[in-house]
């Protein structure tokens, strides 16, 4: 490995923190979506995210966030990225960031899963499938959880994304069994007939429908990357890779040398502090999923804003700990506008923030034409050749 501009790159994905409708939002029924904008409106000027603001989070937008203005001189570089993948799920977004856009739409099930899939799940598990439609995960356990506690049936559901989700009360269907069923489900939806992005285990606990809570034992069984990702190219070239949070699941562990599971966003920030204290040459890629799972899909803009403020507070420490030869990149994988109809992800552009204490200038990185620019920049930094997807902005960082 030859000389690199930055020794360590920390990439943070604020899961679902979109910044306005993408140019192709109409194809997804998502015109008018703007996750950050609508969170700001819900706060009526009281959203406080000074660190993201200093980095240029508002400068990159066409519109202000209510109560949060653009700054005169951001600390570093700021821009937006749009997605070229067919889907707007986490897998598509993260794979595209790592140079592997998903150009062919994956299977979705607006009318529930076909009999063939249901029958195989029932035969394998010895349990009856209930639910079997697109639904919000918290709504479906409120509706069917008590029935599951009595019968041991499997709650199977989907969403607008290519996902097969199985909700199970931890006292009724033990975790190991749920994971086994999910692994089986994974094995029957890898194509060619049905190709599903993610099978997701959705365990929950609680005595009754008014008190069910989903646990951090959620596990995503993602399709294996269909080719090499930038993470693989990095590892092959001796660059150390670390995954924090859902990253490991999203890439099925492929190209991740050191992995950490997050219990929450704040737990993720603890892991990041820990990794930042290590001496290494490489790329640390982190996903913070609470924005999405706890607030975006729940259409809860107040909770979403609070999660942003909590993140922002912890960001102060990260900024203070960055070394001159560190680069921080912050972005998102899709939108999930809590002020929008439905409960699905929204096709939005995502923020792109780049900062290193060694920067002497600042400025706009513009609208990037694919999320792959993110990974291409990481590769360029470490002088690693990948599959040429995306354009590096490394040379713009001064
Ligand atoms: O409603 P819950 O169970 O949170 O599920 C949501 O989470 C999935 C993964 O982010 C999405 O596809 C959507 O279905
Ligand atoms: Mn996501
Ligand atoms: Mn989601």
Q: Identify the CATH number of the domain in which residue 187 sits.
A: 3.30.70.1250
Q: Is residue 275 part of a domain?
A: yes
* pLDDT profile of the chain (398 residues), mean per 10: 87 99 98 98 98 98 96 98 97 98 97 98 98 97 98 98 98 98 98 97 98 96 96 98 97 97 97 98 98 97 98 98 98 98 97 98 98 98 97 98
Q: Are strands 8-14 and 326-331 parallel, antiparallel or unpaired?
A: parallel
Query: Is 257 found in the same domain as 200?
Result: no
Query: Domain ends where: 162, 194, 222?
Result: 222
Q: Is residue 108 part of a domain?
A: no
236 C-beta neighbours (distance < 10 Å), count? 12
Q: Is residue 43 part of a domain?
A: yes
The Cα 154–Cα 330 span in angstroms is 38
Residue 195: both structure tokens together: 């190709």
Query: Is 357 found in the same domain as 237?
Result: yes
Q: Is residue 212 part of a domain?
A: yes
Query: Domain ends where: 222, 253, 280?
Result: 222
So what's the pLDDT on residue 27?
A: 98
Q: Is residue 109 part of a domain?
A: no
Residues 6+ apart with CB under 8 A from 151: 128
> How many Å lie between the centroid of ligand 1 and the Cα of residue 299?
12
157 C-beta neighbours (distance < 10 Å), count? 27
So what's the pLDDT on residue 239?
A: 98
- Which ligand is located closest to the Cα atom of residue 156? 1
Residue 308: both structure tokens together: 């942003």
Query: Domain ends where: 156, 187, 222?
Result: 222
Q: Is residue 3 part of a domain?
A: no
Query: Is 302 found in the same domain as 186?
Result: no
Give the closest residue (by CA) to ligand 1 atom 13: 159
Query: Is 368 found in the same domain as 305?
Result: yes
So what's the pLDDT on residue 193?
A: 97
So what's the pLDDT on residue 2?
A: 56
Q: Judge whether 292 is annotated as a binding position.
A: yes
Query: Is 317 found in the same domain as 364?
Result: yes
Neighbours of ion ligand 2 (CB under 5 A): 15, 90, 292, 333
> How many Å lie between the centroid of ligand 2 and the Cα of residue 289?
7
Query: Is 373 found in the same domain as 283?
Result: yes
CATH, residue 320? 3.40.720.10
Count of domains forming the chain: 2
Query: Is 176 found in the same domain as 45?
Result: no
For residue 160, give the ligand 1 atom closest to its CA.
12
Owning domain of residue 357: 8-103+224-396
The Cα 177–Cα 179 span in angstroms is 5
Is the CB–ligand 1 distance for residue 297 below 6 Å?
yes
Q: Judge whether 15 is annotated as a binding position.
A: yes
* Contact (CB, 8 A) for 222 and 243: no
For residue 134, give the ligand 1 atom closest to its CA.
14
> How many Å lie between the centroid of ligand 1 and the Cα of residue 334?
13
Query: Is 280 found in the same domain as 217?
Result: no
Query: Is 127 found in the same domain as 94?
Result: no
Question: Tokens 């991740």 sit at which residue?
Answer: 256
Q: Is residue 1 part of a domain?
A: no
Model ipTM over 0.85 = yes
Bridge partners, 240 (sequence order): 282
Query: Is 19 found in the same domain as 98?
Result: yes
For residue 45, which phi and psi values (nearest 5 degrees)? 95, 0
So what's the pLDDT on residue 3?
A: 80
Q: Judge whether 38 is annotated as a binding position.
A: no
Query: Is 154 found in the same domain as 203?
Result: yes
> How many Å lie between the centroid of ligand 3 and the Cα of residue 119?
27
Query: Is 61 found in the same domain as 25?
Result: yes
So what's the pLDDT on residue 365?
A: 98
* Contact (CB, 8 A) for 168 and 144: no
């Amino acid at each position: 490995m030859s000389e690199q501009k930055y020794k360590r790159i920390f990439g943070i994905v604020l899961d679902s923190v979109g910044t306005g409708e993408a140019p192709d939002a109409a194809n997804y029924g998502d015109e008018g979506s703007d996750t950050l904008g609508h969170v700001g409106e819900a706060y009526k000027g009281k959203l406080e995210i000074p660190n993201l603001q200093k980095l240029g989070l508002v400068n990159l937008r066409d519109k202000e966030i209510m109560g949060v203005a653009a700054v005169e001189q951001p600390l570093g570089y700021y821009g937006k990225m749009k997605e070229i993948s067919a889907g707007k799920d986490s897998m598509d977004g993260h794979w595209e960031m790592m140079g592997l856009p998903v150009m062919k739409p994956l299977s979705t099930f607006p009318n529930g899963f076909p009999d063939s899939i249901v029958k195989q799940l029932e035969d394998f598990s010895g349990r009856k499938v209930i639910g079997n439609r697109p639904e919000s995960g918290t709504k479906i356990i409120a509706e069917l959880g008590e029935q599951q506690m009595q019968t041991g049936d499997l709650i199977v559901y989907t969403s607008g994304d290519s996902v097969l989700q199985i909700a199970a009360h931890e006292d009724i269907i033990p975790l190991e069994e749920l994971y086994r069923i999910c692994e089986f489900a994974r094995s029957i939806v890898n194509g060619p007939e049905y190709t599903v992005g993610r099978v997701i285990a959705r365990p929950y606990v609680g005595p009754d429908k008014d008190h069910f809570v989903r646990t951090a034992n959620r596990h995503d069984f993602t399709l294996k990357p269909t080719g090499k990702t930038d993470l693989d190219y990095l590892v092959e070239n001796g660059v150390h890779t670390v995954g924090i949070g859902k990253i490991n699941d999203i890439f099925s562990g492929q190209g991740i040398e050191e992995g950490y599971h997050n219990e929450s966003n704040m737990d993720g920030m603890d892991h990041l502090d820990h990794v930042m204290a290590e001496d290494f040459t490489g790329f640390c890629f982190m996903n913070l999923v609470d924005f999405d799972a706890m607030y975006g899909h729940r259409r809860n803009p107040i909770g979403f804003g609070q999660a942003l403020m909590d993140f922002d507070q912890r960001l102060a420490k990260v900024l203070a700990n960055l070394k001159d030869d560190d680069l921080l990149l912050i972005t998102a994988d899709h939108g999930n506008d809590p002020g929008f109809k439905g409960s699905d992800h929204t096709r939005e552009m995502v923020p792109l923030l780049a900062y290193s204490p060694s920067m002497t200038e600042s400025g706009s990185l513009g609208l990037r034409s694919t999320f792959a620019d993110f990974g291409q920049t990481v590769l360029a930094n470490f002088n690693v050749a990948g599959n040429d997807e995306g354009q590096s902005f490394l040379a713009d960082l001064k």
